[in-house]
Structure 1
């Protein structure tokens, strides 16, 4: 007869056995490699020699021989490729490389357009994709193992180059988010070694990568760091009177300024979309400073125009005029007709805010004339509509009617030229234009109607019969 303690221990023993035999699930990754917390680097034990590339190749070949020797045909599937690479890396002692490679290859499974997703491909396409997977996986494995091996040996330069090659390859394959992770590894090495040249280069590449990911704040931070390093080094070289080095660093500064300009442009545009015009102006002025340092008057003029537009949006026309006039001067100098057309449209808005309607009308007429020269239908329609609006407000109804009728003709012609079906927005635009024409005609003929009602009964009856007014065409 079993004791109570024995009966109590039996279920516990079964539970332990069930727990040991139950399959252990690997947590599914649904984030990119960069989002995974960086694992702790495995430190080398003093009494163990680091593995070499030769041992990794031996491990890989022994794995393949074991499979083939068992009488099984090895298929070139993605799973087999992964298993072979994982086995060879781990068997060679590259524990950290195994962890990194696992995350890199498995993070692809959750992307819709990942390089390992090939459902629905033909046989040839599938074979080509398998080759690409094999090539890329082998490259990742070798570079990760090289970086780990170099760190064990204390070869910081070798580790830097391995991580850099990984980042460049991943960037070329549009895996920018993962490339950022390895660029950060490079940046950490460059900063620890106080290598300014490398830090400048990696900061620039990180800024570009973040810009591609639309992470504008991080892009701005790294490009500003790149510019700061380049300018400091340039000053140092000038003190040393090393003309050749100074020229090289000057090129680096110009490239940093150019990249900064792109980031500032996108940041300011985002601010404008959010109606944060004060913030947008601040960023545009930083961009203007970059273009001024580059001595690029054309790009600087574009920034002047955008600042002027923001000041108009804030209802500060006097400040807007200052920047718009600078842009207009540059457009005249470089014969930029499109730019002159745009600045005339903005001048019209500025003077309209100031209450100087005649000046606003004059600039709108110039805007219309230049748009016609450039054969820009959209700008012509915009100019006609705005002229119609301001003529209506100033009670010049015959001129308003003329402009609205012209606007309707332009819109109708533009939509007629389209081959596909009109969208709801396009139909709405056409109907709005038609309403403006009707209203402008009514305004223009209002006095005639009132005269018929008050003084000319026969004329009113004739109009009701024929729907024509005296001295008016059909």
Structure 2
């Protein structure tokens, strides 16, 4: 009986073939071809793996980059890279589990960023050794722009600072790169909320850029960028002083912001700066100075065709006039606020103007006029759909109508007699919008859907 031939089974390897794995990663290197006269020519195609190939295969990218930097003599680049990685790790631990930083992918696990750091740090170090400070500056600037995402803000700030240090060593550009670097560093500090540090760098930027024709990629001169940055920084610094009720210091800082805006030549920025100075003087109680700056803001807004800015100016001037007891001029400027808001189809400002006019008429005892403006403000609040404004306008309309009815109702009570009693009973039964006293005079009251412009004040 013929014996049964069993098929041979291929043995399963316990460990993967290292040569196959290395071949897939491109680590195998062919040996040099042997001389044809050599009897072992058949073995000329044999491959081998070096220790470096194995390290590339087994170690992490961070470790391989660090080893390569040390081997090639880039000790400064190695120190900088290690410092950045340790700083990120410390910040992550300080933030704690569950924080946004904790959930971010570690820097050392992002090959693209590690390769960029390796490339530009070593280039910068090589250029530093050769005394090529412009190239050093360009490499640090490239790294700062590479980390443009919000989570890379701290890296961007670090490389802008390094670019500033290298820019100070460049002597052939009249300080242009140093000015640009100061602007970049100032902007990063501004984003971080360190306004004092931002002020220092923006002032250095401005000092270097004054009178120069240098321009950025957007076509703006460096002097304009410096003045715009200083205007913003001064404004933010002044806001802190205003919160502390230190109006004198706040006005000094805001005046600097206004001067920077004028120097920059941006009329809109100049108008907004004048408006802020005017409000600061208004808070301090100096209404004369406040009106000067607010009038400047109104003039600039009128020239720019800015209806919103012009309305803000009229309202602020009216508040100063009211503080001085000039009621007639106050109403005049509020009417201007009303008109410019109506012409510009700005329902929000128009509603605010109606509320202001209703308030001042009611405070003067002209309840019917106040009721008209409050009624219009209520209608505009309904169209805007803003509940807080709607509730406030509704309450003001109710109060104004009640005050409108108060005089004839009180007169009927004081007069007495059968006619007055019948009038009171009839009104309580009907509860009409108007109330007729015994003499036949009626106190008018508006309706909720009345949206036409109230009559002008004579």
Same fold (TM over 0.5): yes
Name the counterpart of 2:47. Answer: none
1:331 matches 2:288: no
CA distance in 2, matches of 1:331, 1:157: 44
Task: State the aligned residue count.
Answer: 372
> Any conservation in 1 of the 2:375–2:397 contact (CA below 8 Å)?
yes
SS of 1:290's partner is: helix
By how many angstroms is 1:394 displaced? 0.8
Larger mean CA deviation between 310-319 and 256-265 belongs to 256-265
- What pairs up with 1:346-357 in 2 under 5 angstroms? 346-357=316-327
SS of 2:285's partner is: coil
> Any conservation in 2 of the 1:288–1:300 contact (CA below 8 Å)?
yes
Name the counterpart of 1:467. Answer: 431
CA distance in 1, matches of 2:225, 2:401: 58
When residues 439 and 325 of structure 1 are mapped into structure 2, their CA distance, relative to the original with a 3 A threshold, is: same
1:435 matches 2:415: no
- 1:331-382 per-residue CA deviation (whole Å, 9 max, x = no partner) reads 3334333322221111211110110111111111111121122221211121
TM score, norm. by length of structure 2: 0.71
CA distance in 1, matches of 2:80, 2:403: 75
- 1:248-289 per-residue CA deviation (whole Å, 9 max, x = no partner) reads 499433332233233333333454455544333222211222
Q: Work out which of the residue numbers 189, 197, 216 in structure 2 matches 1:218.
A: 197
1:451 matches 2:431: no
1:80 matches 2:60: yes
Q: Work out which of the residue numbers 185, 207, 216 in structure 2 matches 1:206.
A: 185
> Any conservation in 1 of the 2:254–2:277 contact (CA below 8 Å)?
yes
Name the counterpart of 1:133. Answer: 110
Structure 1 unaligned regions, length at least 5: 1-60, 69-73, 120-128, 235-245, 416-425
Q: Which structure has more RCO (C-alpha within 8 Å, separation ≥ 6)?
A: 1
Q: Work out which of the residue numbers 146, 149, 165 in structure 2 matches 1:169.
A: 146
- What pairs up with 1:411-422 in 2 under 5 angstroms? 411-415=381-385
> Any conservation in 1 of the 2:381–2:390 contact (CA below 8 Å)?
yes
CA distance in 2, matches of 1:102, 1:428: 55
Q: Work out which of the residue numbers 340, 346, 369 in structure 2 matches 1:370.
A: 340
> Any conservation in 1 of the 2:133–2:167 contact (CA below 8 Å)?
no
CA distance in 2, matches of 1:167, 1:332: 42
- 1:444-467 per-residue CA deviation (whole Å, 9 max, x = no partner) reads 111111122222112122223222
SS of 2:110's partner is: helix
CA distance in 2, matches of 1:429, 1:159: 58
By how many angstroms is 1:432 displaced? 2.8
Structure 2 unaligned regions, length at least 5: 1-49, 437-441, 448-458
Name the counterpart of 2:229. Answer: 259
TM score, norm. by length of structure 1: 0.69
CA distance in 2, matches of 1:363, 1:155: 64
Q: Work out which of the residue numbers 55, 69, 78 in structure 2 matches 1:98.
A: 78
Tell me the C-alpha RMSD between the 2 structures. 3.3
> Any conservation in 2 of the 1:305–1:323 contact (CA below 8 Å)?
yes
CA distance in 2, matches of 1:155, 1:297: 42
When residues 334 and 434 of structure 1 are mapped into structure 2, their CA distance, relative to the original with a 3 A threshold, is: closer
By how many angstroms is 1:199 displaced? 1.9
- 1:123-171 per-residue CA deviation (whole Å, 9 max, x = no partner) reads xxxxxx99x9212211102222333444456655554443333223234
Could you say which structure has the higher helix fraction? 1
